[in-house]
Structure 1
Amino acid sequence: MTARSPLPAPARVAARVPEDTRVYAIGDIHGRADLLADLLEMIRADAARAPEGRQVLVTLGDHVDRGDWTRHVVDMLLEDPLPGAELVTLKGNHEELLLRFLEEPEAVARLWLGNGGDATLRSYGIEPSRYLGLADGWQRMSRLFAEALPAAHRRFYENLRLHHREGGYLFVHAGIRPGVPLVEQTSETLLWVRDLFLSSEADHGAVVVHGHTVAWAPEERPNRIGIDTGAFMTGRLTCLVLAGEERRFLST
């Protein structure tokens, strides 16, 4: 994957999160449980120093694929990763492919496995190379995957949300279609959009916090903040911290 070079950040828009609320938003994890463990330690230390109040931990989707430890990533998020905080887990395009593989493997298998789904299968004990070339190879892999998935993991994937709002910030995986109300945004846009959203200078009615498109450093624009710093290939997993009008970043 080719990463976007960071652009110079213009003046900020004065967006706020609700009073007495601190938000921690984590970019695309992509199976890097090792980096997630390190980042969660930083977040917990930061939260312990913060004033009392509501805390929200948001993950922006693409928890799975590419890295070797997807199963462990999900386990960590199911184990109260930030005690006392609200946990909001969003859906990414990679989770969309994973779920479709369970239902219609032949339609998405090449796309999913070619974009890191093979690493996810291995994390659940399935070696894809054993079934490649077999007439029913995709179906067999899908069936074995369904059998290997713990019930809690299946629920995790199926219950991921498409968006979340906190005050002046909207959290989505990929972005939005400019000029379209949130209730009219399609799941395809929220999970897959790139240039139409990234190149827009429109006021979206909120600052959109997103992942999906890799940049070498967090990318702050007047109408959006991108925090996918390519953890699976760079070793940098990024968290955006929001409190009042404050914005800052934590990173591995």
Structure 2
Amino acid sequence: MTFWTTLYHRLNRRNAGSQSSLAPDAPFVAIGDIHGRLDLLETLVAKIDEQAPNLPLIFLGDYVDRGPDSAGVLSRLKSLDDTPSRQTTCLMGNHDVMMLDFLDHPEQDGPRWLNYGGIQTLESFGIPPMDQSPTMMRDQLLSKIDPSLLSWLRQRPLIWQSGNIVASHAGGNPNRPIEPNREHSLLWGHPDIHTKPRRDDLWVVHGHFADDEAYIKNNRICVDTRAHRSGQLTAAIISPESVEFIST
């Protein structure tokens, strides 16, 4: 059974812990970590089309691993990205990078990826992972994945910005400027993000740090709600001074 939860926030400095007003150039929708849940992605996109038609879609990374259909998620996102009638941006996540590292260096990076959900990704491409070397699994994956899809995945950006809000997978280091060359904290996060607000008047919207519910704290909007396990994929409809959460 699928159900919807919607939570609306009218932001101010007192209830959001913010140092600045939320001021994107225009409304947009940020979607949290999908992790192979094509079923939830389809359901959530349909709901967004009902509630926020034609708004830009910003996907925050971690499309693969853990869930049952990473192959389907990647194909669906590329299809959305290729649709000229809907502005779509798909950012890079750390699990997406781990998959690419596996393809480039299977013996070195394969064991870590397989332990963090790569087995489910291989299975979604029809590749049994048992009793094979990482290089053999890599070669099979390269034979299964569309080269154009792989090229698209490699080209995913790290950040997207509208007004004073920056979207990235893991939010970055609150002590440093948000720049594409600071790749590690944008993909893997920084421990200070939980305790230190930014001092540059920027807001960040991100995934990566999973919680039971989406939340707003210290100029941050976090929308990773453990979709692969909870069945709750979350989006944030972000407008000047307001955030509306929608979850499956």
The whole-number CA distance in structure 1 between the counterparts of 2:102 and 2:180 is 26
The whole-number CA distance in structure 1 between the counterparts of 2:184 and 2:228 is 23
Are 2:61 and 2:92, in contact at CA under 8 Å, matched by a contact in 1? yes
Q: Which amino acid aligns with 2:50?
A: A
The whole-number CA distance in structure 1 between the counterparts of 2:74 and 2:214 is 24
Deviations 1:67-98 (A, max 9, x none): 01011111211223787221110001001110
Percent of aligned pairs with the same amino acid:
31
- Of stretches 9-18 and 114-123 in structure 1, the one that deviates more from structure 2 is 9-18
The whole-number CA distance in structure 1 between the counterparts of 2:86 and 2:72 is 20
- Of stretches 77-86 and 219-228 in structure 1, the one that deviates more from structure 2 is 77-86
Q: Which residue of 2 aligns with 1:33?
A: 38
Are 1:27 and 1:211, in contact at CA under 8 Å, matched by a contact in 2? yes
Q: CA deviation at 1:10?
A: 3.8
The whole-number CA distance in structure 2 between the counterparts of 1:147 and 1:204 is 46
Alignment counterpart, residue 149 of structure 2, candidates 145, 149, 153: 153
Q: CA deviation at 1:199?
A: 2.0
1:182 matched to 2:178? The reply is yes
Are 2:214 and 2:222, in contact at CA under 8 Å, matched by a contact in 1? yes
Q: CA deviation at 1:183?
A: 3.1
CA RMSD of aligned residues (A): 1.9
Are 2:173 and 2:190, in contact at CA under 8 Å, matched by a contact in 1? no
The whole-number CA distance in structure 1 between the counterparts of 2:94 and 2:218 is 25
Q: Which residue of 2 aligns with 1:107?
A: 108
Change (3 A) 1:246 1:180: same
The whole-number CA distance in structure 2 between the counterparts of 1:204 and 1:119 is 40
- Of stretches 81-90 and 31-40 in structure 1, the one that deviates more from structure 2 is 81-90
The whole-number CA distance in structure 2 between the counterparts of 1:242 and 1:149 is 34
The whole-number CA distance in structure 1 between the counterparts of 2:162 and 2:103 is 32
Are 2:158 and 2:180, in contact at CA under 8 Å, matched by a contact in 1? no
Q: Which residue of 2 aligns with 1:197?
A: 193
Q: Which residue of 2 aligns with 1:206?
A: 202
Q: CA deviation at 1:185?
A: 4.8
Q: CA deviation at 1:222?
A: 2.5
Q: CA deviation at 1:34?
A: 0.5
Q: CA deviation at 1:198?
A: 2.1
Where does 1:90-239 land on structure 2 (aligned, <5 Å)? Answer: 90-131=91-132, 137-183=133-179, 185-239=181-235
The whole-number CA distance in structure 1 between the counterparts of 2:56 and 2:63 is 18
1:22 matched to 2:27? The reply is yes
Q: Matched residue of 1:249: which SS?
A: strand
Query: Structure 1, unaligned stretches of length 5 or more?
Result: 1-8, 49-53, 132-136
Q: Which amino acid aligns with 1:168?
A: N
Are 2:32 and 2:234, in contact at CA under 8 Å, matched by a contact in 1? yes
Are 1:60 and 1:92, in contact at CA under 8 Å, matched by a contact in 2? yes
